[in-house]
Amino acid sequence: MMIDTLLDGKETISDCWRSIAERAPNKEAVVHYVAGEEPYRWTWGEILRVSSLYARALKDHGIRKGDICAIIIRHHKDFYPIYMGISALGALPAVLAYPNSRLHPDKFRQGLEGMVKRSGLDYVLTEKDLGPVVDPMVSGTGSTIRAVLYPLEWSLGGEAGESLPSTIGVGGDAPCLLQHSSGTTGLQKAVVLTHRAVLEHMRRYGRAIAIREDDKVVSWLPLYHDMGLIAAFYLPLTLGIPLVQLDPFEWVSAPVILLEAISSEKGTLSWLPNFAFNLLADRCREEDLDGIRLDSLRMVVNCSEPVRAESHEKFLRRYAPFGFRKEALAACYAMAETTFAATQTTPGRNAKQIFVAREDLSAGVVRLARPGEPGRACISSGAPISGCELRILDDDGNALPENRVGEIAIRSVSLFDGYRNNPEKTEEVLKDGWYFSGDYGLLHAGEYYIIGRKKDLIILAGKNIYPEDIEDVVGKVEGVLPGRVVAFGVEDDITGTEQICVVAESQADGEAEKKKLRMEIVQAGMGMDVTISNVYLAPPRWLIKSSAGKPARKANMERSITELKAQ
């Protein structure tokens, strides 16, 4: 029996959860992992029982079908039943990021106010610590928030009459959840997905990765992003396989805990953004890896655009001695607007790599580089999953053949219907049933390779420069913190073209050392026939990141121009 038959006849997510709990009440659903502590192990029977209690309490506080409930809660074992309880009522859970210690309360409040206006949040479920910031927003001008609730403070007495309340009047075409696409806080676009879209995607993506009953997902990913929410939360919980969930804040401080969890829990599946491969390879000390084995992993999926070949190679070199296999290195191309994955590499086979001539790539043509010729290593993100179709388009919207670079457009059975409260942006990206992604990519031998973001492309004297290429080269300069580089173009009225600027984090101290580093960065650009006009050196942790953990080019460009020009 294929595992996705569990979805047969199910209209809603809660239907799935009830069915799994009835079939296997003692099976592990979620392993809530905290470093240095014994994990809390939710069985399906227990998590559904507590979800029912939360659903009744939420209903008593006024939450009804269709209400949007923002969840701003740190890593806590009750997050899962709270989320399930919201969904069972036919309300829409929307996970938002809990502010880290470096974010000023005013900045967090401004970001949340932006989301309230864009998404129309009805309730905020959070922790007491955020009360002083969030409570005043209930009566704030233009706010849609009816109440701020603190579910972790509730006493859940009594027994549940059934595993979850029936979502009467909620069918497959009803909205299921709200997630925010990548972007800086307050500027994210709100994507609403239906139950049918999510369940259909789980069925098809599950087949694309050859999901098995003995699989176990291990993840540190934040649940406010589609990679964490869909791949590492909904996928295991709708297909009845265990999820081991780590604290994202803990992982950033000590990346080795992911490897510890995979080793101890015998994890088989994990999804990572590209930077995490580098971080795990660079930040885990040999003494911390004693006893760790990664033999159980059958797929570690790099879900970034583009995927970096060097990151895969570095990770493989570091962890092959611990049992990690090359064929477990996988990749996919995904976004909130398509529920999650549009493409996926073949399970059990290392993601393909091609080395293309850089000069031709700049002109939008793909040609395999000759020996010694400057080129770029491109990693495949795989072939389209079932029910998903991709096209490569030129600037006029015409389809391009294989081996040509253009914008990726996607049509999918799990495509979103539009951004909530943002018809202008919806009209910009949804055209005749196709989603225009804003990503540049190419089709080669039946698989798709992602090159970069259309809006980030730098045009220098008529030549297309992908900032990712510059960032890769600059990141290798000694003295630059790896992965902490942003390149962008700035219009120059005098020359009539763009100037290339680079912001690089470094611990360089003293003007002489900084001057030397700037010269080395410029020389690195010259090595790829690119003139870097301005180099801004920033201290560690200076770069602004998007909700997906990637440096936000536009925000960093604006900040660097205003704050670092004095250099």
CATH number reported for the structural domain that contains residue 497 in this entry: 3.30.300.30
Q: Are residues 496 and 450 in the same domain?
A: no
Give the pLDDT confidence score for residue 167 in this predicted structure.
Answer: 53
Neighbours of 288 (CB within 10 A): 14
For the ranges 166-170, 405-409, 475-479, which has the lowest average pLDDT?
A: 166-170
Q: Are residues 447 and 461 in the same domain?
A: no
Q: Are residues 395 and 483 in the same domain?
A: no
Q: How many helices (H) and strands (E) does the chain have?
A: 17, 27
- What is the rounded radius of gyration, in angstroms, for the C-alpha atoms of the chain? 24
Q: How confident is the model at residue 112 (pLDDT cuts 50, 70, 90)?
A: confident
Please state, in angstroms and rounded to a whole number, the distance separating the CA atoms of residues 372 and 378: 17
Residue 159 has pLDDT above 90, yes or no: no
The pLDDT tens digits for 198-216 are: 999 999 999 999 999 999 9
Please state, in angstroms and rounded to a whole number, the distance separating the CA atoms of residues 543 and 552: 8
Q: How far is CA 464 from the centre of its chain?
A: 27
- Percent of the chain at pLDDT exceeding 90: 66
Q: Are residues 461 and 450 in the same domain?
A: no
Q: Domain of residue 469: give its range.
A: 457-563
CA quadruple 52, 167, 76, 73: dihedral positive or negative?
negative
Q: Are residues 423 and 535 in the same domain?
A: no
Beta strand pairing call for 406-412 and 329-334: unpaired
Report which of 93, 122, 97 is spatially closest to residue 192, judged by C-alpha positions.
Answer: 93
- What residue has token string 């070949």? 309
Q: Residue 390 domain-assigned? A: yes
Give the pLDDT confidence score for residue 454 in this predicted structure.
Answer: 85
Number of residues written out for the chain: 567
SS3 136: helix
Rounded to an integer, the average pLDDT of 495-510 is 84
Please state, in angstroms and rounded to a whole number, the distance separating the CA atoms of residues 377 and 312: 11
Please state, in angstroms and rounded to a whole number, the distance separating the CA atoms of residues 302 and 345: 10
Give the pLDDT confidence score for residue 383 in this predicted structure.
Answer: 98
Please state, in angstroms and rounded to a whole number, the distance separating the CA atoms of residues 464 and 455: 12
Residue 160 has pLDDT above 60, yes or no: no
Residue type, 231: A
SS3 130: helix
Q: What average pLDDT is seen over the chain?
A: 89
Residue with more model confidence, 4 or 283: 283
Residue with more model confidence, 453 or 209: 209
- What residue has token string 């050859």? 210
Please state, in angstroms and rounded to a whole number, the distance separating the CA atoms of residues 423 and 418: 7
Segment (H or E) for 377: strand 375-379
For helices 79-88 and 44-60, angle between their N-to-C axes, nearest 10 degrees: 60
Is 27 buried (19+), middle (13-18) or exposed (0-12) by CB count in 10 A? Answer: middle
Give the pLDDT confidence score for residue 166 in this predicted structure.
Answer: 54
CATH number of the domain to which 43 belongs: 3.40.50.12780
**Domain total for the chain?**
3
Q: Residue 226 domain-assigned? A: no
Residue with more model confidence, 163 or 126: 126
Structure tokens belonging to residue 557: 């460009």
CATH number of the domain to which 428 belongs: 2.30.38.10
Structure tokens belonging to residue 295: 């033999």
Rounded to an integer, the average pLDDT of 214-237 is 96
Q: How confident is the model at residue 83 (pLDDT cuts 50, 70, 90)?
A: very high
Give the pLDDT confidence score for residue 67 in this predicted structure.
Answer: 96
Residue with more model confidence, 262 or 461: 262
Neighbours of 200 (CB within 10 A): 19
Q: Are residues 392 and 535 in the same domain?
A: no
The residue from 454, 474, 496 where one domain ends is 454
Contact 148, 219 (CB under 8 A): no
The residue from 454, 477, 499 where one domain ends is 454
Residue with more model confidence, 389 or 473: 389
The residue from 414, 439, 454 where one domain ends is 454
Q: How confident is the model at residue 185 (pLDDT cuts 50, 70, 90)?
A: very low
Residue 186 has pLDDT above 50, yes or no: no
Residue 249 has pLDDT above 50, yes or no: yes
